Chain A
Amino acid sequence: DTAVSQTPKYLVTQMGNDKSIKCEQNLGHDTMYWYKQDSKKFLKIMFSYNNKELIINETVPNRFSPKSPDKAHLNLHINSLELGDSAVYFCASRLLGGELFFGEGSRLTVL
């Protein structure tokens, strides 16, 4: 039983396309996150939702739009993909005051 699951694991697409990544957690956590990990392994927080409410938006281009239909799901839609969007995107969830639980990551390659 995967605690935090992301789909797809791999995406390869052309510049200018639109893509979505889905995330689901079965841990009963209230808070979910999207992180971007670049080629140098640096982890940057992008968004966070608490019980379907956006609580963190870290100066991410508005081509990135998160959506949380319920507290167990957090999706990420990216419009007009650019080369610099190539990265691994991690979903994570957290119980109040606890640690982050990460998904396996979704590797996005923009050609």
Chain B
Amino acid sequence: AQSVTQLDSQVPVFEEAPVELRCNYSSSVSVYLFWYVQYPNQGLQLLLKYLSGSTLVESINGFEAEFNKSQTSFHLRKPSVHISDTAEYFCAVSAFRGKNFNKFYFGSGTKLNVKP
């Protein structure tokens, strides 16, 4: 089976500062990796995904994540955050094949709190 670890439950940061949200995964097979964002009282929205190809993936609102196979990580970064980025962020993994192919495993979430 796969598992996901988000080491930071909360990350406070000032507006316009850079931020990194950490995500590590474990899996015995190749995986797809995802970051989702959840704003208060809403569902989860896909932020970005790694399926194959370039290990650096970007979102339309300035976030990026890099797949590092040797370190089994998929950290999320943004060079300059806005107040509107305040939300809960979830890292997720899905097996590329095998009996767990249809399962999505989520990390415990990181609350990003952007202060003015």
* Chain A interface residues (CB < 8 Å from chain B): 4, 31, 33, 40-43, 45, 48, 50, 55-56, 90, 94, 97, 99-105
Contacts and interface: CB of A to CB of B under 8 A. Distances in A.
Given A97-B32, A97-B51, A99-B34, A45 B103 contact: yes
Given A43-B90, A97-B51, A102 B44 contact: yes
- Interface secondary structure of B, over-half rule: strand
Contact of B43 (A42, A45, A90, A94): A90
B106 A43 contact: yes
B42 A56 contact: no
Nearest to A55: B102
Interface string B36-67: 10100111111001010000000000000000
The 5 closest A-B pairs by CB, nearest first: A102-B43, A43-B106, A102-B44, A41-B109, A104-B43
Interface in B60-116: 88, 90, 92, 102-106, 108-109, 111
A103 B43 contact: yes
B29 to A, nearest CB: 14
Contacts, number: 51
Contacts of B111: 41
A105 B44 CA distance: 9
Interface of B: 32, 34, 36, 38, 41-46, 49, 51, 88, 90, 92, 102-106, 108-109, 111
Contacts of B43: 4, 90, 102-105
A12 B41 CA distance: 16
Contact of B102 (A4, A48, A101): A48
A90 B36 CA distance: 14
Contacts of B92: 100
B109 A99 contact: no
Contacts of A90: 43-44
Nearest to B43: A102
Nearest to A48: B102
A67 B36 CA distance: 27
Contacts of A48: 102-103
B50 to A, nearest CB: 11
